[in-house]
Amino acid sequence: MGRIKKTTDYLEELKDKGYSRYNELLILYKEWKKKLDIKSLSDFLKITWEEKGNIKPKLGENTYNNFRGIAFEEFCFDILKKAIKESEAEKAVELFWNAKILTEEFYMFENRGFKKYPKYKAVDLAIGKRENNLIHPLIIISCKIWQSTNWLDEDRAILDNIRNRYPTALGYSLCMSLSVPPVSLISSQRTGLRVYNLSKEGKLNEFINDIKEFLMESKKNAH
């Protein structure tokens, strides 16, 4: 995993700074880590939002936003890790967190020779394979607590960019709150970006089943 800090690091920081509802958050964190329970995650995110006036002064503006975002990414990482294990696809694919995907390479003539300059796109999560120190994505996943039209357009642009090099890559956009007009949602889906609001009943299982179906096919192709 590429992340340096995880949810527990932020919680420990809140504990050290005397945050009064630390134990409540820790209990909810342990629940969704153990059970991968979407309700516990929702409650965790709800408290951190309602308590922003008390948490922000202790963590700072940027760290507060990172704290909530990392918590959602970590939950998504954990459910994907479980899906890969249950599909017995560990040998067929790898799961990456905060992955950098090579999208293009260009050359410039410097010092009497050509020098290669690679360009990368960062994605929250990716399922794929690592070869020659490069990640070859089969699936890329964006994780945003609140999904807006601008963020959705950005997710779609990143998928299009990555598909220039990996045309068969699948794209998912996961969120806990979806606030986009129907036309934007339809446009994203037409380009192949699959959008899931995990807070809606049944959507978490629907997403997991979709991933498992893909993993089963990948496992077959690996043999």
- The answer as to whether 79 is a domain residue is no
Judge if 68 and 157 occupy the same domain. no
**Tokens of residue 168, six digits:** 């068969």
Total residues found in the chain within this entry = 223
**Tokens of residue 29, six digits:** 């964190």
Tens of pLDDT, residues 82-95: 999 999 999 889 99
pTM: 0.91
Judge if 131 and 213 occupy the same domain. yes
Residues 27 and 191: their CA atoms lie apart, in Å, by 40
Q: Is the separation of the CB atoms in 209 and 159 below 8 Å?
A: no
* CB burial of residue 94 (10 Å; 0-12, 13-18, 19+): middle
Judge if 60 and 104 occupy the same domain. no
- In this prediction, residue 36 carries a pLDDT of 92
Judge if 128 and 209 occupy the same domain. yes
Q: Is the separation of the CB atoms in 21 and 52 below 8 Å?
A: no
Tens of pLDDT, residues 138-176: 999 999 999 999 999 999 999 999 999 999 999 999 999
Tens of pLDDT, residues 170-187: 999 999 999 998 888 888
The identity of residue 142, as a single letter, is: S
| Structural domain total, the chain | 2
Name the helix (H) or strand (E) containing 99: strand 94-110
Q: Is the separation of the CB atoms in 122 and 98 below 8 Å?
A: yes
- In this prediction, residue 223 carries a pLDDT of 57
- CATH code, 200: 3.40.1350
Judge if 215 and 157 occupy the same domain. yes
Work out the end-to-end distance of the chain between its first and last CA atoms, rounded to an integer number of angstroms.
26
- The single residue listed with the structure tokens 């709150």 is 177
- The single residue listed with the structure tokens 């009943």 is 201
The dihedral sign for the CA sequence 145, 150, 156, 159:
negative
Judge if 16 and 109 occupy the same domain. no
**Tokens of residue 66, six digits:** 């990172």
Judge if 50 and 149 occupy the same domain. no
- The answer as to whether 49 is a domain residue is yes
212 three-state secondary structure: helix
- The answer as to whether 11 is a domain residue is yes
Judge if 45 and 115 occupy the same domain. no
48 three-state secondary structure: helix
- In this prediction, residue 1 carries a pLDDT of 44
Range of the domain at 159: 87-222
Name the helix (H) or strand (E) containing 119: strand 113-131
- The answer as to whether 54 is a domain residue is yes
Judge if 41 and 117 occupy the same domain. no
Mean pLDDT of the region 58-69: 92
